[in-house]
């Protein structure tokens, strides 16, 4: 590997070829970490604004102390790390279907892993977030049925652009009902999407939740030399 590019790890997984790469950004020399699944980029540290805002927007909806939070999707850890920046968070579970990604964090191959490992409020859970939502027992195997104040999700590219077809039921009214049952009264659901707001999905959420809205997050895209946008959906259990 050149000094400008390293493949830190490569694994064959049930979902396909998974790789962790580190490269230097031309011009600035800044380290960029990237996770690829087959030919798709799951995450790049070049674009983290929306992942950070996802956590901030969700927690801004809540008051009180010792909040219990679930993050679905670990990636490079930016959403989880931002959750832990909020002093009123009492516990954080981060659920990821790829044990390899959890290992990379635990081994310190991903910078955020050191922060997550050092915070006693945080626990990384190897599991299928969507299957756990369907299970009726929730996300915490040590406390079946445990409710959370916020469920924050960054897994699929959008409600229509899925990593796996079996995730589709999560974005139906029935999926929203199962999710709401895992939130405390007044609890918040937040979802990241790479696509513009979809009125159909907002309407689906509104069948189950209150205070449904879609926030557009803008950020500079140096690769395309323009502004890019992501969407954060927010909804509250009544």
Neighbours of 97 (CB within 10 A): 22
Q: How far is CA 204 from the centre of its chain?
A: 20
pLDDT digits (tens, 9 = 90+) for 53-92: 999 999 999 999 999 999 999 999 999 999 999 999 999 9
Residue 56 carries which DSSP code? H
pLDDT digits (tens, 9 = 90+) for 6-48: 999 999 988 889 999 999 877 777 899 999 988 888 889 988 9
Residues 6 or more apart whose Cβ sits within 8 Å of residue 131: none
pLDDT digits (tens, 9 = 90+) for 143-178: 999 999 999 999 999 999 998 999 999 999 999 999
- Alpha-carbon span 154 to 57, nearest angstrom: 13
- Alpha-carbon span 18 to 227, nearest angstrom: 29
């Amino acid at each position: 590997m050149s000094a400008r590019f390293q493949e830190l790890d490569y694994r064959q997984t049930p979902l396909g070829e998974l790789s962790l790469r580190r490269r230097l950004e031309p011009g600035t020399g800044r380290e960029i970490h990237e996770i690829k699944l087959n030919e798709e980029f799951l995450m790049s540290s070049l674009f983290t604004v929306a992942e950070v805002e996802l956590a901030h927007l969700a927690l801004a909806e809540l008051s009180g102390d010792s909040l219990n939070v679930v993050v679905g999707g670990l990636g490079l850890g930016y959403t989880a790390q931002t959750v832990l920046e909020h002093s009123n968070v009492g516990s954080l579970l981060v659920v990821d279907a790829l044990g390899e990604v959890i290992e990379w964090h635990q081994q310190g191959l991903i910078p955020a892993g050191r922060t997550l490992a050092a915070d006693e409020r945080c626990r990384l859970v190897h599991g299928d977030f969507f299957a756990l939502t369907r299970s009726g027992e929730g996300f915490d195997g040590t406390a079946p049925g445990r409710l959370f104040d916020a469920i924050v999700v960054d897994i699929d590219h959008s409600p229509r652009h899925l990593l796996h077809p079996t995730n589709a039921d999560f974005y139906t009214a029935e999926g929203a009902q199962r999710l709401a049952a895992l939130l405390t009264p007044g609890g918040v659901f937040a979802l990241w999407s790479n696509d513009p707001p979809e009125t159909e999905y907002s309407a689906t959420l509104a069948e189950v939740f209150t205070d449904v809205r879609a926030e557009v997050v803008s950020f500079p895209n140096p690769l395309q030399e323009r502004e890019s946008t992501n969407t954060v959906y927010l909804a509250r259990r009544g």
